[in-house]
Structure 1
Amino acid sequence: MGRPTGVSTGVGWPDEPAAPDESRVSRETERLPEATDSEVPLISPEAPDVTEAPEATEAPGSSLPTSEPPRRTVTPSRDPLAGEQWRRPVRTRILTIANQKGGVGKTTTAVNLAAALARGGLSVLVIDTDPQGNASTALGIDHHAEVRSVYDVLVDEATLAEVVQPCPDIDGLLCAPATIDLAGAEIELVSYVARETRLQRALHAFLDDPQVLKPDYVLIDCPPSLGLLTINAFVAADEVLIPIQCEYYALEGLTMLLKNIEMIRRHLNPRLFISTILLTMYDARTRLSQQVATEVREHFPEQVLGTTVPRSVRISEAPSHGQTVLTYDPMSTGALSYLEAARELATRAV
C-alpha cells in the first residue's frame, strides 16, 4: 500500500518515494454495483420517521428512556451541544455497523456514534457480537468470562434485559457485552433451529417488554467475517451503516459485502437496506484520501454522510483507557467529528 510522496499522515509514518497507483482505486470502484442498479434494491426509498417526542420517563429497574449535506470541517467550540436536544425517531432505529474488511474503524465508529447519540439526549443500546469484545472495552463494560453476555442470549436463550449493562461514563447508553465465549458460538449454533434469527427474536422481545423502556437507537457491532454472528446481526437490523477508510485498499471487499447484504435481504430479512456510509481515517492533505472519498460519493451519493472522521491519535488512544473519544478528549477533532456525524445520522433523510 502506498501513500502520496512527501505527505505526513500525522502518525509518525516516514515519507515513501512511490506515489499510489490511482488507477487501482478506479478499477476497484468500477467493479462496484451502482446503488440503484440492483435487481433487489439495497437502498430503501423510505426514510425512517423522525419526529419530536415527549420527554422520556424511566420505568422501575430500567436505565433506558422511552420511546446530501455539505461536507464539514469540524472546529472546537466551548460546548458543541449547548441547548441542543436531538429529535427522537418515532420507532427504534436498529443499525448494524458492518464491513467485511478489518481495520476500517467499524468498532470505533459503533461506540463513538453511540456515545455521540447519547450526548445528544437520545437513548442507545450497543450490542457487541464480536468475540474480541472491543466495543465492550471501549464503553468501560465488564466482559470477563463469568459475565452474562450476548453468548448467553444466542446460545442459552437469556434475555437481553438480563445481560445489558449501563455505560459508567455516559448517561442513556447501555451495552450488551461480548465475552470470549462468543468465539465458540459459531460452532454451537450450527445445530440450532432458526439459528440465523436468534438475535432478532431476543431483540424484539426486549423492545416489546413493557418493563423495559425502548431505546431510540440500537447499534450492533459485528465481526468482520460473514459467519453466523454477523448473519444474526444483519437479520436483527433494519439498516446497515458501512464505515469506509479513505485509504488504498478501502474498496476491496465492498463488492462482496453488498452481495452478502443482498443475499440476506432476499432470503432472511427483506427490510434490510444500506442507509449510511461514513468515511473514516480521512486526511485532507493527501490526494489519495480525497480520491477515495470522491469515488465512494459518486457510487453512493445518497448514503455517504457529509461529515468525515479524520485520522486521529485521540481516537486511537481512547479504547486503551476504557473510554470513547467523547469522554477521553471531548473537544478533540475526532470527538467533534463523531458528534457531527451522529447529528447528521439523527436528522438526515435516508
Structure 2
Amino acid sequence: MRRVVFNQKGGVGKTTIVCNLAAIAAARGLRTLVVDLDTQGNATQYLLGANGAVPSRDIADFFDSTLAFSLQSPAFASYATTSPFANLDVIASSPRLEELIVKLEAKQKIYKLRDALKKLRGYDAVFIDTPPAMNFYSRSALIAAERVLIPFDCDEFARQALYTLLENIQELRADHNETLMVEGIVVNQFQPRAKLPIRVVEALREEKLPVLAQMLSSSVRVRESHEQHRPLIALEPGHRVTQEYVALYEALAGAARAA
C-alpha cells in the first residue's frame, strides 16, 4: 500500500501522522518505508534523529539521478536509511530538493517517483510525507500513491482551504492517477470540549465530506515524542493519543482490506 498524507495548509500535522502510522505498521511486523519529500525534513529528523544516522543517500539523490540518462538506475530501496525502529526505513529529505525543482519540472520528471515505487520490492507499506504546497513533489506523491489521507485541524481558514484541496486532488486524479482514492479527512489536534471544533466537524459531515470517525486529540505527549525522536507507539503505547493513532491505523487497514 502506497499512502500519501497531504494538505496544502501547513501546521495540520502531516508529518506526525505519517510517522506515527508508519511506526504502527512497522510494529505490526510490516516492512515499512517513509519517503520524506518535504524540504524541512521533519519526518527525517523525527525517525532518524534518535541515533544521529547520517543518510548516505537521500531523496534528492534519487531525483538528481533521473536528470541524467542511464541504462541501469540504482534501485529505489538503495536510497533508504535504516531507522532505530524495527521494520522501519526512511528515504531522507534534503535541502537540495529546492534547487532541483526547476530542472525536474523542465524535464517533465513528474512520473519518476511513481515508476520507482511500482518497481519497489521488499516493503509492505509506503508512507509519503509532502510539503505544504501543491508543487512538483506533492504532485509526484499523489501520482505515485494509491491512497491519500487529508489532515484537518478544525480551523475556519483550514475549512475554506479544504474545498480547494479536494478540487485539486480530483483534478490530478482525473489527469494523472485515476486509481487514487481519498481515504478520508482525519481531524487532528481535536479539542472535544471546545465548541468551534465540534461545530466545524459537524458542518463538514453535513456537507457529506469524508470525515473519518477516528479523530486525533491535542496532547503535549505528541510534542514530547518529537523531541525524543520516538513515535508514540515506541514512546508510550498505552497513552490515549497513541491508542487514537492505533484506532486510525486499524480503520484505514480495515477499509483497504475491504476495498
Distance 1:140 1:106 in 2: 17
Deviation, 1:133, is 0.7
Is 1:323 the equivalent of 2:230? yes
Matches within 5 A, 1:222-261: 222-261=130-169
Distance 1:152 1:297 in 2: 42
The one-letter amino acid paired with 2:48 is G
Distance 1:335 1:312 in 2: 10
Q: Is the 8 A contact 1:143 1:178 kept in 2?
A: no
Change (3 A) 1:163 1:309: same
Deviation, 1:300, is 4.3
Pick the structure with more helix per residue.
2
Q: What do residues 79-137 of structure 1 show as CA deviations (whole Å, max 9, x unaligned)?
A: xxxxxxxxxxxxxx111100001111111111111112222332321111001110111
Is 1:272 the equivalent of 2:200? no
TM-score by length of 1: 0.67
Is 1:202 the equivalent of 2:110? no
Counting aligned pairs with the same residue, the percent is 31
Q: Is the 8 A contact 1:118 1:171 kept in 2?
A: yes
The one-letter amino acid paired with 2:111 is T
Is 1:126 the equivalent of 2:126? no
User: Alignment partner of 2:102: what SS?
Assistant: helix
Distance 1:120 1:305 in 2: 22
Q: Is the 8 A contact 1:133 1:143 kept in 2?
A: no
Matches within 5 A, 1:140-289: 140=48, 147-157=56-66, 158-168=74-84, 170-192=85-107, 194-207=108-121, 213=122, 215-289=123-197
Distance 2:206 2:20 in 1: 26
- CA-based RMSD: 1.9
TM-score by length of 2: 0.88
Task: Give aligned pairs, total.
Answer: 248
Partner of 1:305: 212
Gaps in structure 1 of 5+ consecutive residues: 1-92, 208-212
The one-letter amino acid paired with 2:82 is P
Tell me which structure has the larger Cα radius of gyration.
1
Q: Is the 8 A contact 1:164 1:176 kept in 2?
A: yes
* Equivalent of residue 335 in structure 1, options 242, 246, 252: 242
Deviation, 1:286, is 0.7
User: Alignment partner of 2:150: what SS?
Assistant: strand
